[in-house]
Structure formats: C-alpha cells, structure tokens
C-alpha cells in the first residue's frame, strides 16, 4: 500500500489518503455484506491517514480546527465501520442506521478532506484560505522590496496595521463561524478600500497589515480613514437576518529612509496600541496623533513591541 512520505507535500499526501479511502469503502462494503465481515482489521482503516497526520504536524495548518474536525470524522467513521464488521462476523446484518453511521461519516470525511486539501494548497501559495489575502509568508520580502525602492528612487509608502475591535467578544457571543464571517468581511473591505497595486496581508488572528505604495502620510490617512468608515457602515448579516456591527482600530506610519521594515511595523503597532487605548474605532498616525496624557503612561516602552493579538 502506498503511503505518504516526507518527500510529498501535505496536499499531495491528501490525494493518497483520498485514493486509499475510496478503495477502502468498496472493500468494507464487500466484507460487511458478502463475506461475513471477513477482511477484518485489514479493511478497517487504511494507514495512509495516520501517516499523513504525522507529516502534517510539521505544517502550521495541522493544528487548525478544520484539521481537528477531519481527524474526529476519521475516528468516528472507522470506529463505526469496525463495529459493523464485527456484527457481520457474528452473522448479523447491519441495520440501516448502522450502515448510515458509516456512509454518512464517510461522505462528511471526504467533503472535509477536500476542504483541508484546498486550505493546504492555498497556504502553500501564500494565500490565507479564509480571507483570500496574502499571509505573513512573503510579507517581509514584499515590504523590504518597497523599502529598497523608497531608498533608491524616493517613492514613499505607508504601512497600516488593522485590528478588529473586541473580536474575542464576537467569537464568544456568536461562535467561530460568525467570527470567520467577520474576518472575511474585513478582508473584503480592505480589498475594496485599497488600489490594485497596494498590498494587504493577514498577519494572524484578527490583525491585518496594509502597504500603501507611493503614498504620503496625509494620503495614507485619508485612505485608511475611508476604510475604517466603510467597515463601520457594513454590518455582518447572520443567517437568521440579525446584523453584527464591526469596527476596527488602525495604526499608520510613513516610511523613513533610516527605518527598517521591522522598525516601521513596530511604529505602526505602537500607533495601533494607542488607537485601542484611546477608545478604538479610530486611526492613529505614528508621531502625529498624540494620546491623552493619561494614556501616555500606559503606552509600551519604546524598546518593546506589544503583543499583536488579543488587543480587543
């Protein structure tokens, strides 16, 4: 039996898992209905999925809820399939509900496997499968390329960090499915609000980074302020028709020749921190918009970068 190896990507190995299980379901049918359960352990669970899980642990996507759901479906499917085989070996035909407990899980497993396969494929391409934006993979290179062009040709640019306000509360109140809708809608608003040659990235969690090319701080502020308003005026519609309002806070910084990409991100992050502490749902320009005096003391020390996630 062919098994995934370290030479295959997780996406390629999932193809092997699917092929193995398509063969397996036919073998299981024959064992359960025509061979008195014979075939037993050999047809109870292909080893390809276990091998894939080992390989997938090396990838960041291996711990996502979609993969965990795939593992759960796999376990349930094969546990039910084994019970049917044991019953057939004792001379008892499976009931319709017992049969459906296997076939239903098999169909769910295949659908979920396809979803995970697409997610791994998107991740390999540097795209976030939920939002369609580029991920942190390649972000550093893209920003350094823009910084080098600035230093060489004097074409300035701005970086903005965006963090959805009180996102944890949205997840806790409405569930992660709605949280995913909010993330996707925020990404869509960002895509609408920037030009085709600007770049946007999902930093992780509820945080995004936008690179506005050939843009001054004043121009960048106008773009990001319009984006903030667009997001505020575009509530998310739930399946039942209820609307969920969403706002975001932004930290904006203009490139400077003597600042590295890492320095620019830290400056944008400090401005975002100030936007959160000043009441959320606002744009703070680094070095321009000063927080209230009582907030200055709460700002992070200059040498430290505040945690980028879970700001609220």
Active site residues: 206
User: Which run of H or E residues covers position 190?
Assistant: helix 176-193
3-state secondary structure of 291: coil
Residue that is written with structure tokens 């939920």 in the block: 130
Tokens of 164: 């959805």
Tokens of 23: 């063969």
In which region does residue 226 sit, left (phi positive, over 0), alpha (psi from -120 to 50) or beta (all else)? alpha
Nearest Cα to Cα of residue 308 among 159, 203, 183: 203
Given a contact cutoff of 8 angstroms between Cβ atoms, the answer to whether 37 and 88 are in contact is: yes
Nearest Cα to Cα of residue 16 among 5, 25, 4, 28: 4
Count Cβ atoms below 10 Å from residue 153 Cβ, excluding itself.
9
Tokens of 83: 């019970």
Cα 267 versus chain centre, distance: 25
**Rounded Cα gap, residues 175 and 130, in angstroms:** 16
Given a contact cutoff of 8 angstroms between Cβ atoms, the answer to whether 248 and 161 are in contact is: no
**Rounded Cα gap, residues 275 and 160, in angstroms:** 12
**Rounded Cα gap, residues 283 and 196, in angstroms:** 22
**Rounded Cα gap, residues 82 and 274, in angstroms:** 58
**Rounded Cα gap, residues 149 and 259, in angstroms:** 14
**Rounded Cα gap, residues 4 and 120, in angstroms:** 15
């Amino acid at each position: 039996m062919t098994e995934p190896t370290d030479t295959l990507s997780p996406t390629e190995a999932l193809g092997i898992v699917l092929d193995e299980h398509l063969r397996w379901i036919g073998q299981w049918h024959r064992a359960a209905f025509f061979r008195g359960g014979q075939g037993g352990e050999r047809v109870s669970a292909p080893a390809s999925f276990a091998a894939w899980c080992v390989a997938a642990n090396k990838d960041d996507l291996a711990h996502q809820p979609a993969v965990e759901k795939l593992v759960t479906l796999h376990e349930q499917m094969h546990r039910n399939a084994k019970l049917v085989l044991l019953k057939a070996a004792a001379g008892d035909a499976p009931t319709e509900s017992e049969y459906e407990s296997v076939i239903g899980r098999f169909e769910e497993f295949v659908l979920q496997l396809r979803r995970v396969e697409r997610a791994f494929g998107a991740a390999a391409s540097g795209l976030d499968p939920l939002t369609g934006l580029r991920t942190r993979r390649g972000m550093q290179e893209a920003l350094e390329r823009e910084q080098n062009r600035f230093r060489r040709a004097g074409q300035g640019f701005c970086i903005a960090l965006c963090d959805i306000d009180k996102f944890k509360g949205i997840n806790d109140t409405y569930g992660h499915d709605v949280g995913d809708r909010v993330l996707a809608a925020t990404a869509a608003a960002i895509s609408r609000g920037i030009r085709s040659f600007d770049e946007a990235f999902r930093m992780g969690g509820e945080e995004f980074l936008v690179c506005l090319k050939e843009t001054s701080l004043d121009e960048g502020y106008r773009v990001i302020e319009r984006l903030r308003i667009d997001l505020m005026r575009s509530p998310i519609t739930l399946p039942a028709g209820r609307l969920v309002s969403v706002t975001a806070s932004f930290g904006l910084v203009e490139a400077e020749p003597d600042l590295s990409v890492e320095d620019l991100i830290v400056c944008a992050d400090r401005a975002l921190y100030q936007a959160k502490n000043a009441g959320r749902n606002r744009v703070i320009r680094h070095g321009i918009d000063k927080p209230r005096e009582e907030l200055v003391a709460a700002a992070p020390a200059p040498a430290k970068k505040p945690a980028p996630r879970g700001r609220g």
